[in-house]
A and B are shown apart, each in its own frame.
Chain A
Amino acid sequence: MRDVAIIGCGMTKFGRLEGKDLMDLLAEASLRAIDDAGAGERDFDSVYVGNMMAGELVHQTAVASALVDRINLIPAGAERVENGPASGASAVKNGFFAVSSGASDLVLVAGGEKMTAADTDVIGDLVSTMTHPTAEYVHGVTLPAMAAMLTRLYMERYGVTERHLAMVAVKNHANALKNPYAHLHRECTIEGAMSSIMIADPLRLYYACPISDGAAAVVLCPLEKANEFTDKPVRIAGFGHASDVQTLQEREDPAVLKSVQLASQQAFKMAKLEPNDIDVVETHDAFEILEIVQSEDAGFFEKGKGHLAVEKGVTALNGKLPINPSGGLKAKGHPVGATGVAQIVELVWQLRGEAGERQVKNPKRGFACNFGGFGNNTVIHILERGW
């Protein structure tokens, strides 16, 4: 296996992007990443596009074929990668395999989603179809409902309070205010979050991510060739990918995200690192409880203690382990197919020291966690400076 480097990255702003369709977004992010890599004159071998539901949302299929046509990456082999809301990280994983195996020398990985093309209730229903068809979906189970039931388990067992959820939201909104690419540029207060409308008791609107459009992209090549493009290559040091039973209730313990535990352990083993070697983290906080649970099951904090780390400011931008400097899914936004790629883009900027006002102090290694369901399919990446 060859070492793989990220040599360029780019993304669109996330948000309600009127006047831009899915292909506009994918093309914009991809061209930015190719420019950033200085690879405009090069021929690409492979293209992977993370996208969850273009067919359903914008009535378009085979989006990878459309992208290579649009930005002339012809004749690169191109395919769409679908793994629910982890389509982005799964696309990066495919790119990693293509380069590490020796099959491809120059790869574009993009991820994008045009969520606002559909009405909110249609999007809610499409996302709910990720749940078990007979044991969950037909009963009216939605993703917010699952997050609410997980939250209540955490409240009962570990003493997590609504205030802790609000603290995560306040932190992520504050980070997003420093991120020009973020969807929500709005200060959030504890009181404001705790008085927002109830969507799935005990979850209020501010403990969940918004509906966003957006795209992100990275360019990969073998680390040994990275100096042809950049003096700051970022190495993919490890990845992990694991699944679990689909329904929340059938898990060994419904309050444990076992796929996060297993995927994280795989990634740390491959990278020959431990959780305390990580300097910056991006989590999949589609709901704020998930940032707390993932931070524990990934190994950064003891089980049941993640909310205390939030309380003490450990996960703040200037804390010991900043989590979601980008603003996270909560405030940067969550265009599902883009999210996993955008997490990688944020970590690359952080490691290269190019994150502007939200720059974490001198990070050497970053960790990203992307969910392909509700905790039943997790893709982890660990990145480190390759210079």
Chain B
Amino acid sequence: MEQKFTGFKCKSCGRVMYPKHDRCLDCKGTEFEEVELGEGATLLTYTKLYVLPEGIEMPPLVLGIVKFPGGVRAMGQLTTDDPKIGMKLRPVWGKLRKMKDKEIFGFKFEPLK
């Protein structure tokens, strides 16, 4: 089954959050449902990192903040070396890095064709 990038919607007030909090950032509600955040996210800012953390082999590591259509933002790796502010991206599942010889997987962001 394909993995979907999800946020957490407060069952009391409807605010969608990512990452998950145990209490809603608006109403302090404690019950949430997972909701898909969609495909087309917009790049707000980025960096090309040359001093790399453990388990990432080739510089630069491109990181960015994207904004999903509903307003939720996420930070993550970009699969492109040529990021442009405002470009549209979609979350894709893949290997993020190695930590203590263990491979870590998660969502990255890939430009929409």
Contacts and interface: CB of A to CB of B under 8 A. Distances in A.
Interface of A: 121, 124-125, 128, 132, 134-136, 138-142, 144-145, 148-150, 152-153, 156, 197-203, 245, 247-250, 254
18 contacts: A125-B53, A132-B19, A135-B19, A140-B49, A140-B53, A140-B97, A145-B61, A149-B63, A149-B65, A150-B45, A200-B48, A200-B50, A201-B47, A201-B49, A245-B25, A248-B65, A248-B75, A249-B75
Contact of B51 (A124, A138, A202): A124
Contacts of B85: 152, 156
Given A125-B54, A138-B99, A142-B49, A153 B44 contact: yes
A141 B69 CA distance: 23
Given A149-B64, A153-B44, A249 B53 contact: no
A153 B45 contact: yes
Interface residues of B, number: 32
B74 A249 contact: yes
Contacts, number: 100
B28 to A, nearest CB: 14
Contact of B53 (A124, A153, A250): A124
**SS of B interface (majority):** strand
Contacts of B17: 250
A247 to B, nearest CB: 7
Nearest to A131: B75
Interface of B: 17-19, 25, 44-54, 56, 60-61, 63-65, 73-77, 85, 96-97, 99, 104, 106
Nearest to A252: B25
Most chain A beta-carbon neighbours within 10 Å: one of B17, B45, B54? B45
B45 A139 contact: no
A138 B104 contact: yes
B51 A200 contact: yes
Most chain A beta-carbon neighbours within 10 Å: one of B19, B60, B96? B19
B64 A139 contact: no
A145 to B, nearest CB: 5
A140 B96 contact: yes
Given A135-B74, A139-B75, A139-B96, 20 more contacts: A134-B19, A138-B106, A139-B76, A139-B97, A139-B106, A140-B63, A145-B63, A148-B49, A152-B45, A152-B85, A153-B45, A198-B48, A200-B47, A200-B48, A201-B48, A245-B25, A248-B75, A250-B18, A254-B45, A254-B73
B61 to A, nearest CB: 5
Contacts of B53: 124-125, 128, 140, 142
A203 B68 CA distance: 27
A245 B56 CA distance: 27
Nearest to A148: B47
4 closest cross-chain pairs (CB), A and B = A148-B47, A249-B73, A135-B19, A201-B48
Nearest to B86: A156
A153 to B, nearest CB: 5
Contact of B65 (A132, A199, A249): A249
